[in-house]
């Protein structure tokens, strides 16, 4: 079985057994990123050299007998880019924080490092975690690995896409109103929003502090439980973190990193699953199963409930009459918490104006000589015969469909600049496009630096396709 076919726990076990090294694991996932992320766009920052050096460091400690009780030691992990990482850019997928490098780690990062984890990169998200599709990132939209024309959910879409595409064995996301659970559902993974207070929020760039929680995105529930055990526990830096009671929690242990819940102990062993399930009461809120729910999903849930019932669980349907108020209540709480972060309404108004202006002028700030155009403006521009159409996606993406008359030079290749300057005349404007708009901006910056007049398609080929424009193969 290849490394990327293993669950995080299986990979950790093989590393501890000496069957695989941490470096080999990191190299396998870096190769997957090189191969797949051009189409998926899950990563904002890849820590290639840092991850390899960290893998070698952890491997030496494992070989010396350390990390015996750390099931995920040496295993790579991807981190949503709203968690502070000391010395590593943390953007929250926003141009406003494009160059922000925190001087400290979030508590969850400290706990991961203490357990021997190897951070392989920071992954994409909806800007400031405000979204449900991972389409609002300054760094371009993330595609669903199962079908890149579809979204992976959000706001932790990069976390889910990285794991689903085999570009990380697990990841950390954050969840305010579904931002872990929805992307996990969209990509066929297991995602958990922990109980509020179970995981420290210190170092998380907040959306709504009284709702935010950091949690795992993994291949299965066993991985998710192990990850939760690593990152949960009290934190003096987070006044809302749960202290816990060792007497009341039989499956808990006190460790040097703080109180930890043993979530894995709660999982049923297949050998005695029926014994653990028998008598368990499972509630099904019937008003969740109405208009708007796909019948396939409803049938799958009820089939799972029937399986549990056959194993001895008590399944009961019930009504939740207040559920109609859930979404309005969520938005009231979320936006109120955001506003409370400002000392008064004047500051809120000023900050809103600043944010709006930053958004309006972000293109000008980042363009530095090239223009980002809408689909219609781009179409008008490339109608000029003096404009060369340049597609900077991979050859495979180009073959699947492209704008008529475009030539293909892959910007992800190390020789892009050499090929482009050797091929493209400086007497003509270069019109660049990629999948989502992220790679085209990188290419435009390179070409502008070399003296070219450049325009780029801001929404990328996805936007062109969505607008119903002509595509050829």
Query: What number of CA atoms fall less than 13 Å from residue 155's CA on the CB side?
Result: 26
Burial class (CB within 10 angstroms; exposed 0-12, middle 13-18, buried 19+) of 2:
exposed
Nearest-CA neighbor of 41 among 132, 130, 129, 122? 122
Specify whether 179 is catalytic: yes
The catalytic residue among 70, 159, 179, 459 is 179
- Cα separation of 58 and 426, whole Å? 50
Strand pairing category for 213-218 and 171-175: antiparallel
Residue 80 falls in the annotated catalytic set: yes
| HSE value, Cβ hemisphere, 13 Å, CA-based, for 162 | 37
Q: Is 155 a catalytic residue?
A: yes
DSSP letter (8 states) at residue 85: B
Token readout for 365 is 């700030």
The catalytic position among 14, 22, 70, 80 is: 80
* Closest residue by Cα to residue 71 from 251, 201, 276, 263: 263
| Total residue count of the chain as it appears in this document | 473
In whole angstroms, what is the distance from residue 244 CA to residue 257 CA? 14
For residues 139 and 99, the answer to whether their CB atoms sit within 8 Å is: no
Residue 423 CB coordination number (10 Å): 11
* SS3 label, residue 171: strand
Q: Which of 22, 133, 137, 155 is catalytic?
A: 155
Which tokens is 64 given?
Answer: 């010396």
Whole-angstrom distance, CA of residue 239 vs CA of residue 234: 9
**How many CA atoms lie less than 13 Å away from 394 in the CB half-sphere?**
11
Q: What distance in Å separates the CA atoms of residue 84 and residue 108, rounded to the nearest whole number?
A: 9
What residues act catalytically? Answer: 80, 155, 179
């Amino acid at each position: 079985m290849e490394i990327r076919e293993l669950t995080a726990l299986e990979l950790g076990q093989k590393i501890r057994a000496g069957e695989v090294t941490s470096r080999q694991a990191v190299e396998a996932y870096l190769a997957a990123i090189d191969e797949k992320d051009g189409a998926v766009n899950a990563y904002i920052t890849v820590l290639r050299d840092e991850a390899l050096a960290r893998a070698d460091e952890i491997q030496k400690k494992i070989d010396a007998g350390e990390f015996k009780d750390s099931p995920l030691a040496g295993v790579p992990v991807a981190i949503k880019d709203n968690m502070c990482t000391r010395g590593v850019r943390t953007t929250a997928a926003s141009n406003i924080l494009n160059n922000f490098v925190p001087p400290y780690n979030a508590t969850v990062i400290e706990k991961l490092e203490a357990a021997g984890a190897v951070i392989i990169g920071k992954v994409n998200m909806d800007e400031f975690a405000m979204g449900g599709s991972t389409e609002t990132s300054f760094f371009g939209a993330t595609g669903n690995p199962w079908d890149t024309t579809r979204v992976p959910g959000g706001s932790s879409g990069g976390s889910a896409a990285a794991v689903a595409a085999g570009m990380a064995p697990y990841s950390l996301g954050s969840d305010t109103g579904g931002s872990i659970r929805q992307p996990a559902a969209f990509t066929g993974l297991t995602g958990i929003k922990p109980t509020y207070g179970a995981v420290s929020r210190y170092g998380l760039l907040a959306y709504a502090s009284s709702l935010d929680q950091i949690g795992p995105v993994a291949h299965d529930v066993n991985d998710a439980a192990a990850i939760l055990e690593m990152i949960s526990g009290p934190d003096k830096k987070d006044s809302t973190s749960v202290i816990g009671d060792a007497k009341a929690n039989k499956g808990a242990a006190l460790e040097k990193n703080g109180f930890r819940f043993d979530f894995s102990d709660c999982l049923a062993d297949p050998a005695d699953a029926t014994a653990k399930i028998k008598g368990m009461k499972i509630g099904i809120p019937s008003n969740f199963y109405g208009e708007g729910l796909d019948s396939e999903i409803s049938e799958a849930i009820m089939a799972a409930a029937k399986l549990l019932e056959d194993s001895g669980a008590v399944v009961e349907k019930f009504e939740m009459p207040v559920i109609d108020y859930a979404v309005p209540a969520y938005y009231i709480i979320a936006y109120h918490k955001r506003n409370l972060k400002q000392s008064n309404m004047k500051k809120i108004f000023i900050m809103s104006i600043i944010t709006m202006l930053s958004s309006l002028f972000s293109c000008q700030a980042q363009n530095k000589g090239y223009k980002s155009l809408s689909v219609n403006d781009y179409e008008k521009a490339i109608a000029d015969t003096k404009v060369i159409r340049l597609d900077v996606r991979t050859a495979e993406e180009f073959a699947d469909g492209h704008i008529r008359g475009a030539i293909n030079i892959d910007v992800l290749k190390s020789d892009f600049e050499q090929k482009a300057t050797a091929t493209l005349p400086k007497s003509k404007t270069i019109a660049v496009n990629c999948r989502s708009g992220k790679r085209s901006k990188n290419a435009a910056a390179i070409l502008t630096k070399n003296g070219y007049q450049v325009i780029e398609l801001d929404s990328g080929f996805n936007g062109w396709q969505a607008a119903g424009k002509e595509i050829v193969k």
